[in-house]
Amino acid sequence: MLRSTDVFSGTFYDSATVSVFLSVDILQYVGIVFITALLANNYGTAHDILVSRLVKSSKFFIYASLVLNTLYIFTFSDNILTMDVQLFSGLYSINASTQVLKILVFVYFLALYEMLPKLSTTTNFRILELPLLMHITLALSITMVSSINFALILLALEGFSLALYVMTALSRTYGGITASVKYFAFGTLGSIFLFWGTVHIYAVIPTLSTELVGHVFNNTHAEYMDRADALNFAAATISFGFMLKIGAAPVHQ
């Protein structure tokens, strides 16, 4: 999967070094497996105790990744600004921007864990599956941060959305279930536009690399200049689909 060497602006690092950076992401998926096993094997445990264990387990994996990620940035501070490693045949990227964004995502989820008990007016936070769904959302969020291929971004976004659909209905009230159904319907419509635009780009270029697509849109590839209208249409389609997925104005209703 990993190449024996990867290039950091002319400097070569072995795969072990790259695996260290990748371990931050892998740790979140290990957390999903651990939380799932804990949830599946402890249903006989007292409800409040099990909820506490699930939350603590999720927070442990987030804190561990946050500390590792911060430690790596300081350890490789001399090269972090110029580092740009692409893994898995150009599907995944590790650079300064992705690592900083991951720190922000970790901090956001930790803050969310601290705020939920205070903000919740229902029993949402006491539902056993909520920590698992939140951790799935976290793992797919950091996957999207490092993804440099439209196919991987779409897969992560779909998984992210599925977890959100379920969390929207966790209140088990009429309003919550209605909101979940509406979100699912608009999310499905958004997915159609996203896939339509992505397939359109692949038919024109053909590639799903976000970097190459960005270069083409910046007119750095003269061979695609005659297809600018088609690419602009695809970009508009993807943008509209993404707005539907996140519920942005003016398609938030």
**35-53 exposure pattern, b = at least 16 Cβ within 10 A, e = fewer:** beebbeeeeeeeeeebbeb
**How many domains would you assign to the chain?**
2
Q: Is the pLDDT of residue 11 over 50?
A: no
Range picked from 18-22, 171-175, 191-195 for highest mean pLDDT: 191-195
Alpha-carbon distance 159 to 175, whole Å? 23
Do residues 113 and 179 share a domain? no
Do residues 200 and 234 share a domain? yes
Do residues 18 and 80 share a domain? yes
Do residues 141 and 206 share a domain? no
| Model pLDDT for residues 141-186, shown as the tens digit of each residue | 999 988 888 888 888 888 888 888 888 777 777 777 887 888 888 8
Phi, psi of 11 (to 5 degrees): -100, 135
Mean pLDDT across 208-232: 70
Alpha-carbon distance 170 to 130, whole Å? 8
By the 8 A CB rule, do 165 and 187 touch?
yes
* 34: confidence class by pLDDT, cuts 50, 70, 90: very high
| Model pLDDT for residues 43-62, shown as the tens digit of each residue | 777 877 888 888 899 999 99
| Domain span including residue 246 | 149-253
By the 8 A CB rule, do 144 and 157 touch?
yes
Is omega for the bond preceding 117 within 30 degrees of 0, making it cis? no
% of residues, the chain, pLDDT over 90: 16
Q: What pLDDT does residue 249 have?
A: 56
Q: Is the pLDDT of residue 9 over 70?
A: no
H/E element, 11:
strand 11-14
Q: Which residue has the higher pLDDT, 186 or 29?
A: 29
